[in-house]
Amino acid sequence: MPPEPSTTHDPAADVRPAYVAVALDLPVDRLFTYRAAPEQRAQADIGHRVLVPFRGRSLMGFVAEVDETKPAFKVLDVSEAPDGHALLGPDLLELGTFIARYYGTSLGEALAAMVPRGVRHKGKGQKRRRVTLTDDAKAVVREADGKLSEPQQRILRRLRKHPAGYLMSDLCRAAHVSISPIQTLARHEIVTLTTERSQSDALEEAAREAPPTEPREPTPHQKTCIDALVASLDDETYEAFLLLGVTGSGKTEVYLQAMARCIAQGRQAIVLVPEIALTPQTVKRFRGRFDNVAVLHSGMTEAERAKAWRRIRAGEADVVIGPRSAIFAPVPKLGLLVVDEEHETSFKQQSVPRYHARDVGIVRARAAGAVVVLGSATPALESYRNALDGRYTLLELPERVGGRSLPTVQIVDRTSGEERQRRGSHIGRTLEIRIQEALRAKGQVILLQNRRGYATSVACPRCGFLVECEHCDVTLTFHRSDAVAMCHLCGHERRVPGACPDCALPRLEFRGVGTQTVEEELGERFPGANVARMDSDSMATRDAYEDVLGRFEAGAIDILIGTQMIAKGLDFPNVLLVGIVSADTALALPDFRSGERTFGLLAQVAGRAGRGDEDGRVVVQTTMPTHPAIVLAAEQDYPKFAATALEDREQFGYPPYRRLLRVVVRSKSERAAAERAAVLAKIIVQAATTTTEILGPAVPPIARVQGHYRQHVVVKAPTHREIAGVLAALRKAKRPARGIEEAWDVDPMGVL
């Protein structure tokens, strides 16, 4: 039930205690009642933060309801009600209630995801810590004694390559480790932890020096879009728009001019961007136009985030820009929500609550009477269908700004004639010629290979033995720079054996292409060119990412090779050629979104070409030259692609024609996982309506991850109502035994 807005207190009432129902960050579907003493009442009102005792612990929670009647059961006292104001207004509390109900979590779990940790636990925010290698000699000795764990070895390998060290969070991500092995190394005085106080953040700097910009004279197409948005803003009621604009069509200018109107009305705007697109370049475009822009991003410390949050809550920011979680920014009066690149899967959170920021944004905007703009050159099929059905208003920018044309795309069939793959070569004849031409014209080149590493598998050419992860059901990728084979799921690393362990053939073969392979080949074929690589191995730190972008912008890099990281939002006028080394990688995945993803990725990366005065070219290498996702991406014909893809989705019963719920069970015991999945499947069958289809329990395409066996059940239903019925039954089910983890994902991004 949506909580009532907080009311002003009758001072006479404050002589009585109150009984407050508190939402705690626990996976249980209920509120917990505590007694607030009369003098605490004003501080323990709805939306306030309180500290309460719970099973011998002290937990922070949010007050969801207040009652004066003493309950029949025994209640404990609120230990502390520290704030004079509500942290969550009625709008955000209501949004939390929606998230809990829709995604099947407790209210406390939903609210905990909405408020930054630094705000929830004042003063407890973690600091930015830098890890540097200080005594490698000691490390070598311990290693020789066999005293270093695998995670510790991974940490050291990374640190040896980066003498400047890593931020703790970056190192955890790069080496696939938790904080604890780093702390162990620190205790042995092999690494040193230093606290970074000041935030020398590139985003902040870029923003501060952003030169002010004036609104541009809109093109006729832009004007139509801006007029529609302004008219809708002036109505001050909810309306959602899908802005379908080809790459380089000037979507940002449309956002900016709509935002100007929203600010003039005294309301605030939120702009959601994919995490990877939150570059100084992006931030500059907003800071240059508006004075009070708050940026939220993952590089901030908890304290910085808390500070920004309070500033936003006080109404001091006209515009908030950030990734997924910025949808919870406590702006007092939301007028406009922009979701840029709305098709991006990073808007879906992969941990509890598994919410989708775009969908939550629609709900928030509707309640606030705000206007929503979802922008993309390749919208999610769900959004496009909503536009076709009239739930969203469709706005289109079919042409590039400034009379620029979309790049010409050439599909190259790597199975035929001269293009046929030569041994060890991943750049075919046509692509090679085009790269030479672009370099000769002093242009820059972007190459996409959406796999990192050197060889995506290592195999025995005689008996077929594959080097696989010990913990996951995948082959290991060989990383040449570290000379190890690495698991991309869990980070496990091992040396590549000199001979096949099965048949003793003394030479294993490297198969499959990764970014490192292409980088190496580029170095050999274009010795005069400056080549840089951008993938999550080379870009382990945010600084490294900014650095490469900066050098590319300055023209110090001729060829940039990378994974999907390079496909997002980069706007560099001198890019004359975009090459896709292999368009096949994503198509092979057994997932209902693989066609959509491939189309999106190809169209987006192709859009990086020809943004300046020169026309751009795109070369797509593939072994499936007639696949619709590839052909239509080359034609950059989104509506045509969407029409065929929607037909498939309808035929096979996938979103947007069906709602999905995916339940995943994991356990180290294969049997325990299968048994638990069977129990859950039974519960689902009982709760499901006749219109609901239940697939499984079954082993998902990736059967084992980090030593855990997996099982899943996929539920397909005509509407969310049936899914909600199943969720309710699952929430009531007895919790699994120890050693079994389970997760349910409403509107999953995939089924792998």
Q: Which residues bind ligand ADP (CB under 6 A)?
A: 216-219, 222, 245, 247-253, 401-402, 571
489 forms part of the interface with Zn ion (CB under 5 A)? yes
177 forms part of the interface with Zn ion (CB under 5 A)? no
> DSSP string spanning 7-60?
----GGGGGS-EEEEEEESSSSSS-EEEEE-GGGGGGG-TT-EEEEEETTEEEE
- DSSP, res 645: H
Q: How far is the CB of 305 from ligand ADP (least distance, A)?
A: 27
- Stretch in the footprint of Zn ion (CB under 5 A) among 260-268, 434-442, 486-494, 645-653: 486-494
Classify burial at 422, counting beta carbons within 10 Å of its beta carbon; exposed 0-12, middle 13-18, buried 19 or more.
Answer: exposed
Among 471, 511, 551, 668, binds Zn ion (CB under 5 A): 471
- Stretch in the footprint of Zn ion (CB under 5 A) among 16-24, 375-383, 464-472, 636-644: 464-472
Binding at 17: pick from ligand ADP, Zn ion, none (beta carbon under 5-8 Å per type): none
Q: How far is the CB of 397 from ligand ADP (least distance, A)?
A: 7
Binding at 253: pick from Zn ion, ligand ADP, none (beta carbon under 5-8 Å per type): ligand ADP
Among 92, 263, 490, 687, binds Zn ion (CB under 5 A): 490
Q: How far is the CB of 257 from ligand ADP (least distance, A)?
A: 9
| Helical axes 251-264 vs 280-287, angle rounded to 10° | 40
List the beta bridge partners of residue 59. Answer: 52
Q: How far is the CB of 249 from ligand ADP (least distance, A)?
A: 4
Nearest Cα to 505, choosing from 467, 473, 462, 534? 462
Binding at 471: pick from Zn ion, ligand ADP, none (beta carbon under 5-8 Å per type): Zn ion
Q: How far is the CB of 626 from ligand ADP (least distance, A)?
A: 28
Give the separation between CA 591 and CA 599, rounded to whole angstroms.
Answer: 14
Give the separation between CA 739 and CA 717, rounded to whole angstroms.
Answer: 30
Reduced to 3 states (helix: H, G, I; strand: E, B; else coil), residue 566 is: helix
Nearer to Zn ion, 494 or 551 (CB): 494
The kind and range of the H/E element at 561 are: strand 559-562
Q: How far is the CB of 169 from Zn ion (least distance, A)?
A: 21
- Whether residue 416 contacts residue 624, with contact meaning beta carbons closer than 8 Å, is answered with no
Q: How far is the CB of 393 from ligand ADP (least distance, A)?
A: 18
- Stretch in the footprint of Zn ion (CB under 5 A) among 9-17, 435-443, 466-474, 633-641: 466-474
Tokens of 555: 């023209």
Q: How far is the CB of 469 from Zn ion (least distance, A)?
A: 3
Q: How far is the CB of 222 from ligand ADP (least distance, A)?
A: 6
Tokens of 190: 């092999």
Among 48, 158, 221, 492, binds Zn ion (CB under 5 A): 492
Binding at 489: pick from ligand ADP, Zn ion, none (beta carbon under 5-8 Å per type): Zn ion
Binding at 214: pick from ligand ADP, Zn ion, none (beta carbon under 5-8 Å per type): none
Other CB atoms within 10 A of residue 179 CB = 15
Binding at 106: pick from ligand ADP, Zn ion, none (beta carbon under 5-8 Å per type): none
| Beta-strand pair 708-717/268-272 | unpaired
| Beta-strand pair 371-376/493-494 | unpaired
Q: How far is the CB of 217 from ligand ADP (least distance, A)?
A: 6
- DSSP, res 207: H
Give the separation between CA 336 and CA 369, rounded to whole angstroms.
Answer: 9
712 forms part of the interface with Zn ion (CB under 5 A)? no
Binding at 571: pick from Zn ion, ligand ADP, none (beta carbon under 5-8 Å per type): ligand ADP
- Whether residue 135 contacts residue 347, with contact meaning beta carbons closer than 8 Å, is answered with no
Binding at 245: pick from ligand ADP, Zn ion, none (beta carbon under 5-8 Å per type): ligand ADP
Residue located via tokens 């970056």: 170
Nearer to ligand ADP, 29 or 635 (CB): 635
Nearer to ligand ADP, 107 or 549 (CB): 549
Nearer to Zn ion, 547 or 670 (CB): 670
Give the separation between CA 65 and CA 6, rounded to whole angstroms.
Answer: 9
494 forms part of the interface with Zn ion (CB under 5 A)? no
Nearer to ligand ADP, 98 or 599 (CB): 599
- Whether residue 65 contacts residue 52, with contact meaning beta carbons closer than 8 Å, is answered with no
Q: How far is the CB of 252 from ligand ADP (least distance, A)?
A: 3
Size of site (CB under 5 A) for Zn ion: 7
Give the separation between CA 422 and CA 114, rounded to whole angstroms.
Answer: 53
Among 469, 576, 629, 714, binds Zn ion (CB under 5 A): 469
485 forms part of the interface with Zn ion (CB under 5 A)? no
561 forms part of the interface with Zn ion (CB under 5 A)? no
Nearer to ligand ADP, 256 or 412 (CB): 256
Reduced to 3 states (helix: H, G, I; strand: E, B; else coil), residue 697 is: strand
Nearer to ligand ADP, 219 or 457 (CB): 219
Nearer to ligand ADP, 288 or 701 (CB): 288
Residue located via tokens 């991974």: 154
Reduced to 3 states (helix: H, G, I; strand: E, B; else coil), residue 599 is: helix
Nearer to ligand ADP, 30 or 216 (CB): 216
Nearer to Zn ion, 469 or 620 (CB): 469
Binding at 469: pick from Zn ion, ligand ADP, none (beta carbon under 5-8 Å per type): Zn ion
Nearer to Zn ion, 174 or 724 (CB): 174
Q: How far is the CB of 497 from Zn ion (least distance, A)?
A: 17
Give the separation between CA 684 and CA 742, rounded to whole angstroms.
Answer: 14
Q: How far is the CB of 401 from ligand ADP (least distance, A)?
A: 4
CA triplet 196, 197, 198: central angle to 5 degrees? 110
Tokens of 501: 């362990």
Alpha carbons within 13 angstroms on the beta-carbon side of residue 165 total 19
- DSSP, res 319: E
How many whole angstroms from its chain centre is CA 702?
Answer: 20
Nearer to ligand ADP, 281 or 345 (CB): 281
The kind and range of the H/E element at 547 are: helix 542-553
Binding at 247: pick from ligand ADP, Zn ion, none (beta carbon under 5-8 Å per type): ligand ADP
Tokens of 249: 């069509």
How many whole angstroms from its chain centre is CA 480?
Answer: 28
Nearest Cα to 398, choosing from 532, 251, 595? 251
Binding at 218: pick from Zn ion, ligand ADP, none (beta carbon under 5-8 Å per type): ligand ADP
297: amino acid identity, one letter: H
Q: How far is the CB of 216 from ligand ADP (least distance, A)?
A: 4
Nearer to ligand ADP, 176 or 617 (CB): 617
Nearer to ligand ADP, 53 or 402 (CB): 402
Nearer to Zn ion, 400 or 492 (CB): 492
Nearer to ligand ADP, 158 or 568 (CB): 568
Q: How far is the CB of 359 from ligand ADP (least distance, A)?
A: 22
Other CB atoms within 10 A of residue 414 CB = 21
472 forms part of the interface with Zn ion (CB under 5 A)? yes
Binding at 490: pick from ligand ADP, Zn ion, none (beta carbon under 5-8 Å per type): Zn ion
Taking CB atoms within 8 Å and a gap of at least 24, the contacts of 691-694 are 691/717, 691/718, 691/722, 692/716, 692/717, 692/718, 692/722, 692/726, 693/653, 693/658, 693/717
Q: How far is the CB of 276 from ligand ADP (least distance, A)?
A: 15
How many whole angstroms from its chain centre is CA 487?
Answer: 21
385: amino acid identity, one letter: R
| Residue ranges that bind Zn ion, judged by CB under 5 A | 469, 471-472, 487, 489-490, 492
